[in-house]
Structure 1
Amino acid sequence: MSGAYDLEPLMEGQDFDLVDCQDICGKEFICSEEAQKEISQRMADYAPEGIHLDDSGNYHYLTKLWTDRLTAPFSLVLIDHHTDMRREAFDGILTCGNWVRVMLERNPYLKKVIIVGPTENQRSTIDGCYRSRVQFISEEDLLTEEGWKRFSKVHLKEPVYISIDKDVLNHDSAITDWDQGNICLDDLKRLLDSIFKNEKVIGMDICGEYSEAHDLIDAQEGGLLNENTNVEILEEVKLEGWSLNHLSRHCRLCSPA
């Protein structure tokens, strides 16, 4: 989408296919209908079941395009510093800030959204009509497998799709284009461990790359840190037996190296 992965050479060893979308107009922050059609066409050979790296948080709406192709009930586990449920000034548009709301309104298979990481102020902005379908994970549930089990028993009945925006992490774990949270990488890995051990996971995507660097050194430092975090997340997934090789498809939305 932006070419951010050009600064993450270690990702080349992760056996991902590259899908170049840099030439598509109308895709940054707000995704036009024409851009949605073109991106969806380029994604068509890749199933939602798999691991997808979706560039910076400016393109987090790609989660909607992946999950639009699911045909059975599921819940979304969103690990993000923001709820991405903003009400935009104009109806009918898809943005990186409203895609969760759009999914809740339009996807008949989406049963619940479980969100990890937003501020209390972010939580308070959610419209009442969505609150029965949106749940937040407490720090207690986040940090232990038993806490996740208690939470899951109450709130989850369907398989889950996981979407991670690295802006949920502190500055020692990632550098992103947006304001960031305070979760450390070890806590994120611990949460993923709990989810994979206790849920049926359909697929997963990761965004939050650094695409707004002001100079080459800044870009290289951000790319190196984010690359390390991406690799550690992928290694955590592999430890749970969810290897890349047995997934149906996997894809990285960026430009070919």
Structure 2
Amino acid sequence: MKKQLPIILLNFSGVYDYESFASEKGIVHVDCRGLNGVDCYCDEEGREELRRLLAPYPAKALHFIDSGDYHYLTEYWVSRLQEPFSLIVLDHHPDMQRPQWEGVVSCGGWVTDVLENNPFVRNIIVVGASDELISQVPERLREKVWFYSQAEINHHQAWPSKAGKRIHEPVYISIDKDVLRKQDAITDWSNGDMSLLQLQVVLRIIYANEKVIGVDITGECSATLDYLSEVKDASINNRANEELMQMILSES
């Protein structure tokens, strides 16, 4: 009998309290509330706290990592992989900006950290970013990352064969739900226009052609002062999380 992929849920904001999928049996909850220096930018002290907290949990798992403010945790999970891998990032933003301060990792620049510091990464493929944001990535970095833009997704609606030809090792997939249109995800950042069905098509093609060793999903919506809006937003994200989780478990 195939062993189920471990599911690790990192709770920074309490948003998962509004999402019913999070109460399903088998999901391991990690309480990250109360940590300092980890919101959007993560300083060295915050990184050490997170390393200690997350050390018992596997990198080869399905990780839910709260809002996009914590997307930099992908860099931590893939740093735990001790074998060559390719990183596939589904995100409306390239996440390749330089942080304003040295010594911190940020939600907007973690892909560059993986590119420059991880000795095992062989390819980084960013899927669904806007052409405008891709053009803002410095050329020296843009040449080292393969982009499959939002416009190309809309045109081809599939995983391109040339992406698969680059990959000769297992892959880790990182999904930021802001790659989705607003009907399918409510996030803290600007959205792309991929449908949830399109995202699932891309994922199924990746699973059909690659060995996937880990996945993370981010893009929850932070709490607001409007309870009714929170509940509505959470119900939309809950549907996306539930469908993605069930699909990933069925493919793993």
Distance in 2 of aligned mates of 1:226 and 1:120: 25
TM-score normalised to structure 1 length: 0.88
Query: Does residue 1:214 correspond to 2:225, yes or no?
Result: yes
- Report the residue type matching 2:48 in the other structure: K
Distance in 1, Cα, partners of 2:237 & 2:114: 28
Q: What is residue 204 of structure 1 aligned with on the other side? A: 215
Map 1:1-257 → 2, pairs under 5 A: 1-137=12-148, 138-139=152-153, 143-144=157-158, 147-153=159-165, 155-240=166-251, 242=252
1:5-24: CA deviations, max 9, x gaps?
Answer: 01102321152101101110
1-structure distance, mates of 2:212, 2:156: 17
TM-score (norm 2): 0.90
Q: How many aligned positions are there?
A: 238
Q: Sort the Cα spacing of 1:53 and 1:193 in 2 relative to 1 into closer, same or farther, 3 A.
A: same
CA distance in 1, matches of 2:137, 2:61: 30
In 2, Cα distance between equivalents of 1:90 and 1:210:
26
Which residue type is aligned with residue 16 of structure 1? I
AA aligned to 1:66 is: W
1:118-143 per-residue CA deviation (whole Å, 9 max, x = no partner) reads 11111112222223320012327862
1:234 Cα deviation from its structure 2 partner:
1.2
Q: How big is the shift at 1:176?
A: 0.5
How far is 1:169 from its partner? 0.4
Pick which of 5-14 and 79-88 moved more.
Answer: 5-14
8 Å contact kept, 1:148–1:195: no
What SS does the corresponding residue of 1:191 show, helix, strand or coil? helix
Per-residue CA shift, 1:157-214, capped at 9, x if unaligned? 2211000000010011010011110000000000000001100111000000011423
Kept in 1, the 8 Å contact 2:128–2:153? The answer is no
> Equivalent residue for 2:9?
none
Amino acid at match of 1:133: K
Other-structure match for 1:251: none
Letter in 1 for 2:245: L
Q: What displacement does 1:71 show?
A: 0.8
User: Which one-letter code corresponds to 2:85 in the other structure?
Assistant: F
User: Cα 1:10–1:151, aligned 2, differ >3 Å: closer, same or farther?
Assistant: closer
Secondary structure in 1 aligned to 2:191? coil
Runs of 4+ in 1 over 3 A off after TM superposition: 147-150
Gaps of 5+ in 2: 1-11
Amino acid at match of 1:180: N
Which one has more relative contact order, counting CA pairs under 8 Å at least 6 apart?
A: 1
Distance 1:63 1:121 in 2: 24
- Residue aligned with 1:88, SS: coil
